[in-house]
A and B are shown apart, each in its own frame.
Chain A
Amino acid sequence: MLTAEDKKLVQQVWEKIGGRQEEAGAETLERMFAAYPQTKTYFPHFDLHHGSDQIRGHGKKVVAALGTAVKNLDNLSQALSELSNLHAYNLRVDPLLAQCFQVVLAVHLGKDYTPEVHAAFDKFMSAVAAVLSEKYR
């Protein structure tokens, strides 16, 4: 699915956000809860206020998982296998998180979030979503 060029661009983006990964995770979740309130239904047990420890903590987990995916672009299925179970039986995979993560990248990278990078990352997020949905039914 991802070409060699796509993979290169995805890895470059990941390097560019470098130390801001945790922040990006928290911001992604915040934007998701703000822009798509229906996503909050999956977190009734969370404190969803701006800056909450739970959002920070969970954002960090989400980004770490995406980081694992970035390091295993040739073997997403295996790398995300555990998460696939979780998403298949407990959650619902929807492009909303991917949209918010891309918005966060656009906010942080500005002009560096070029159309080529955008395309590669969109493909990457689609591939991740496909793997996470693999075990549905």
Chain B
Amino acid sequence: MVHWSAEEKQLISSVWGKVNVEECGAEALARLLIVYPWTQRFFSNFGNLSSPTAIIGNPRVRAHGKKVLTSFGEAVKNLDNIKGTFSKLSELHCDKLHVDPENFRLLGDILVIVLASHFGRDFPPACQFAWQKLVGVVAHALARKYH
């Protein structure tokens, strides 16, 4: 089980409390598709992904980004049982979606960058530490049921 100090929990929840899940989720997913174009292979039925502008404006990307980050919020609410929280999603990503787990790590890093760009100085090194740890734990949990 992952250990979270009181400070880490506080840093995570105080940032999460200020996050606009719809905006940040849309932005994080769009950036994933733009910065790591191979990830577009999982979204071939999403319509126009032909340019950064198209991706950013694509309503399906926005909606799915919101869904993904909302799900991520479950980790924030269940820091002491992230493994259990993502057990079913892990199976889904392996068995149905066939996503290389490395991409979870990439999305996590992008989420940290998105938070940094939104919060600027309110995202100091200690905050980054807690969040890099969180995205790492989530990525690990999502990869856990792969076989």
Residues of A within 8 A of B (CB): 27, 30-31, 34-36, 99-100, 102-104, 106-111, 113, 115-116, 118-119, 122
Known: A115-B35, A118-B31, A118-B35. A110 touches B125 (CB 8 A): no
- Which of B34, B121, B123, B128 is A116 in contact with, Cβ under 8 Å? B34
Q: A34-B128, A110-B120, A111-B117 are in contact. Are A99 and B112 (CB under 8 A)?
A: yes
**Binary CB contact string for chain B from 89 to 130 against chain A (1 if under 8 A, 0 otherwise):** 000000000000000000001001110111111010110110
B56 lies within 8 A of chain A by Cβ: yes
Count of B interface residues, CB-CB < 8 Å: 24
Partner of B35, one of A31, A111, A119: A119
**Is A107 a contact of B120 with CB atoms below 8 Å?**
yes
- Give the chain B neighbours of A106 by CB distance below 8 A: 113-114, 116-117
- Chain A nearest CB from B43 CB (Å) reads 15
Q: How far is the CA of A102 from the CA of B113 in the complex (A)?
A: 7
* Minimum Cβ distance to chain A for residue B2 (Å): 15
